Structure 1
């Protein structure tokens, strides 16, 4: 079997790349080790930057997003009994973010791929890239009792942090940058109305809290918990009680509680590998980088990787510009490190660190006070939150 671009992974980055390439007439095949139901069952982020919203529209999969997604002009930060609003639209010349769940993005992309009959292999086992440093790379994998060889021009590794793509690159060629945080996020999903029409990020002595939502009737709340916490120890009642303690009193009073649909604990880490390309294998999304969720950048960084590789491949197949392939990693990493910085900064100023002394705690509060009390500080937060511009290829 032959194709132009072999895509490993059927998460949103793999599906979005496949959709964009298909619309441009560039044949591609997706190979995924899980089944579609499993992929759609994963609960993930839901704050989309302006750039990702525009990219989904370009890919022709924005109908449901535009109909039911929630456009947010701002968000709030709460600390020391104060609530300060960051007016995204006013501070960024009209840019906003869209609250639309990653599961829904994935569903829209899956439906679009099915509608056009593009090839995808699910439940694929033993996926392995070969000859990625040559001009004739290929994949092998087992599916439905058959071993399949997929010859291609390029391989896009969109298979996440634990996927085979990054593991196929020799360790000595990769430089790894990592920071593991001493806490995680306990998330609860519930069919309750949001406590606020915008997100609220709360810094509290008991730990960080976030009030988010998926729709006008479905909410997602988060609590900072210790890295060794067990989700089984957190009953719904305990979660709601703790959340109320960490929120401003007027917000806690109007919080509507209800049975959880899902609860899980996500560890927090910052992670980047350089370079993001090895021969004809390109890493995208979590295969190359992870950010703590505080800055809402994970899914959005994957989308900017997709945009970069897609626009390079357009020029490769349309104009023969194979020289641009070597620029992929450099272009992506410039934006990635800026998003890593913002996510690290948001994490640092909003969470309680177990080893922080009195001086560090006072500096954290002063940092919040300075940025939120400064027009330049608010603008810096806003322009990073809505997403920095995508870099041009040339």
Structure 2
């Protein structure tokens, strides 16, 4: 099978890279993936792949029916870009001001199209149905695109027995696949806190109530949730990423806002941190005779793989790339909308090694200078093909 997969991927490997570069040149933000969706439809038609549209606005479902009856496996790629100004110097940098594929979704889309081409050529070896899920709005946390796609009936006609997602991963070398049996990525909640005191002249603090001082106490106290309320053997992160307040050097501030994120794996840890978060803020505001308004957004749940399908994915990677292809990897606290698919269907989320040759210059995901090694793209397409066929074969054996 390896030689057959290689043959078909070789036929489109240049096109996979061309598609990725075209999408990189023309990134579209969450909910605006109209031209990206049109390109996906054009390629599916050219490859002779059946499709459905109209899911979460710009989402597309490709449908490949094998020559043999069987179960259904889904492969998902996200399509949206980020509101980031690209700062690279390669010949296909983004042409859209303030927009960039800094998370590799352009690569995800092109790899899934490449795997779709090969799978459609290999229908005789497919026992069942392969679904190609092109998802919008992954970056639009906490709403996302996976839940709206499911609400719009993306799986109403063909329901997956197993679903997989794949993400480029800059800390893994090309030719390596990152897979974990359970926790892969974290739950990602967001918050915005507005602290209100009383303004006044800096020389007469007794007449005011300094919102900056109240906010300072809150931010310091919030960190004790992680250090004193969460079991050290569990995982949780609370980060304040933005703070605004004050008018000038000699004015006591009457209002301060700060924003941040909470990341966890276990649902019970998430609920504990969330509860303590609200308690600490309200009691601190009361202690300092101020007030607080809390906007808390429950984001994506933790991305938890199904062990049996993670193991199958590991075996598929080793078959294609060698026994050392699936090294042990630590989970990430980054959030991922694919988690909502995994809440409804068994499956696994997988990292594809895309580290550039000079790893000292490798920038992380969401960086304005993020790059990936395009040699990984045909590998990613081949892996998805093997993974889909292996999964359907296993389901047929059962």
Normalised to the residue count of structure 2, the TM-score between the two structures is 0.30
Q: Which is higher, the Rg of structure 1 or of structure 2?
A: 2
| Highest RCO, 1 vs 2 (Cα 8 Å, sep ≥ 6) | 2
Normalised to the residue count of structure 1, the TM-score between the two structures is 0.30
